[in-house]
Amino acid sequence: MCQMGENDYTAIRAILCGDKEAYGALVVRHSQSLFRVAFRITGNEADAEEVVQEAFLRGYQKLVSFQSRSNFGTWIYRIAVRCALDRVGSRPGEDSGRTAHEPDFPPNGAQIADQAAGPERLLLSREIGDMQETAMHSLTAIERTAFVLRHMEGLTTDEIASALGIVPNAAKQTVFRAVQKLRSRLAALRANSHG
Amino acid sequence: MKHLNQERLIEHHYGESSAAVKRHLEACGECARAYMALERDLAEVKVAESPARDGLYGELVWRSLSNSLPTYALRRPRWPVVWLWRGIACAAACVLLLGAFMAGRRWEQGRPAMTSMTLGKHDERTKQKIVLVVLGDHLDRSERLLVELKHADASNTDTVLPMQQEARSLLDANRLCRQSVTQIDDPALANALDHLGRVLSELANEPGELSGSTITRLQNEMNTDGLLFEVRVLRSRVPDPQPSGAIQPNGGAI
């Protein structure tokens, strides 16, 4: 009978030997990081929780193909990114080919003004948050994911490429496009809110 | 001076640029301003803080998942089965190899005795076969010569010379056949060949051309001794030569 050990490799060996409960240790150990990235990509808690569960489920099913040379945390993280990307991409109205110049984000200035019920500071903060959210919505699913991984998760270009299943140069270009779009959108929003 | 494009500036912002980019930014005011604008914009994009999840979150996720996960325990009995089959296959291969080895050794051990016996018999049969073939051919030719001699016209010398040449050829062959017959232990055949040898010798060794008197004398001896009849009887005892093993004696060569 295989016994569950302390590290991920021992747990994986135990799982493959039939000790299903050993997977619980891996789930507990990596749930937080998966939820964080899932939330950053999907933008809401419910989706992020779904992504976490789906990622662990997929990971369990593919555990036989897991290469012991790699790190389980990195491996399951990549699965979670793919799950989140799939979820964001499958949302109604999401189009991965959408360009930055197609404004389908909500009206910004009026929306911000409608929410201006609190103190001035809170208003400014909320205004910036709304602008950012609106700008982020101008990105395609893969651009948003690549940007989140680069800007928020701090992944390198190679790591982003690996997580998204694309070549490093494509990952770099995706991040570049995302930044360009965000800057363009933020500039427009700024001009609109001040105008 | 070539200014840095936005892509280079973004790379620099995320720490993936070369030292040359940093040096350029220190030296070029225009690029430095562009870079500051980029930093300002990206700084506005705050890192979204995910809602806090307590320490029990992992447990909750596991609890929701555990019931839907199949166990890998089903794989466990497969390994012994796989190894069992592999073991059986290896054992079968070993048995086959051992059997082939032992059979080979037995065959090799039994081979010399069998070979000597078989070869001995084979050699004996081959030898007899050759003798019979040669003998049959010799008797055929001798019979033809004796028939020609019996009916030869003593006054016609044109037919005498070919008979003499044939007799010389047959004389050598007869000597070899006689030697071979001694191994067969057939007295009747040996006597017949001796008798034939004497006639052939007279025919072959007659000085000059065969005279009419010599031919007449030999015809009388043949009739008296019944040599032609004897050769025919012997020829009937000898089986016909087989095409595959036929060796045509040419003169004295067998």
State the smallest CA–CA distance between residue B105 and chain A in angstroms: 48
Per the CB < 8 Å rule, is A31 touching B61? yes
Kindly list the structural domains of chain A, giving each domain's residue range(s) and its CATH number in brackets, ordered by start: 7-91 (1.10.1740.10), 96-195 (1.10.10.10)
pLDDT in tens, chain A (195 residues): 444 345 788 888 888 888 889 999 999 999 999 999 999 999 889 999 999 999 999 999 988 888 766 789 999 999 999 999 999 887 766 554 433 334 333 333 323 333 444 566 566 666 667 777 777 888 899 999 999 999 999 999 999 999 999 999 999 999 999 999 988 888 887 777 665
Q: Give the integer Cα–Cα distance in Å for A133 and A151.
A: 15
Instruction: Nearest chain B residue to A37 by CA: give it.
Output: B50
Taking an 8 Å cut-off on Cβ atoms, the answer to whether A57 and B44 are in contact is no
Q: State whether B50 and A36 contact (CB < 8 Å).
A: yes
B51/A contact by beta carbon, under 8 A: yes
Q: Which residues of B touch A136 (CB under 8 A)?
A: 45
Residue B253, strand partner residues: B250
- Show the tokens assigned to B119: 């070869």
- The answer to whether the CB of A41 falls within 8 A of the CB of A163 is no
Count of C-beta atoms within a 10 Å radius of residue A171: 25
Residue B31: what residue type?
C
**Chain A residue nearest residue B13, CA to CA:** A151
C-beta atoms of A60 and B6 within 8 A: no
Note whether A151 contacts B53, CB cutoff 8 Å: no
> Residue A163: what pLDDT?
92
What separation in angstroms does the CA of B204 have from each of A29, B115, B160, B229, B232?
A: 120, 46, 11, 21, 21
* Tokens matching residue A147: 């940007």
Of the partner residues A40, A128, A180, the one whose CB lies closest to the CB of residue B6: A180
Q: Is B61 on the interface with A (CB under 8 A)?
A: yes
Looking at the whole model, is its pTM more than 0.80? no
The domain segmentation of chain B, as residue ranges, is 6-43, 120-237
Predicted local confidence at residue B33, as pLDDT: 93
Does the pLDDT value for residue B183 go beyond 60? yes
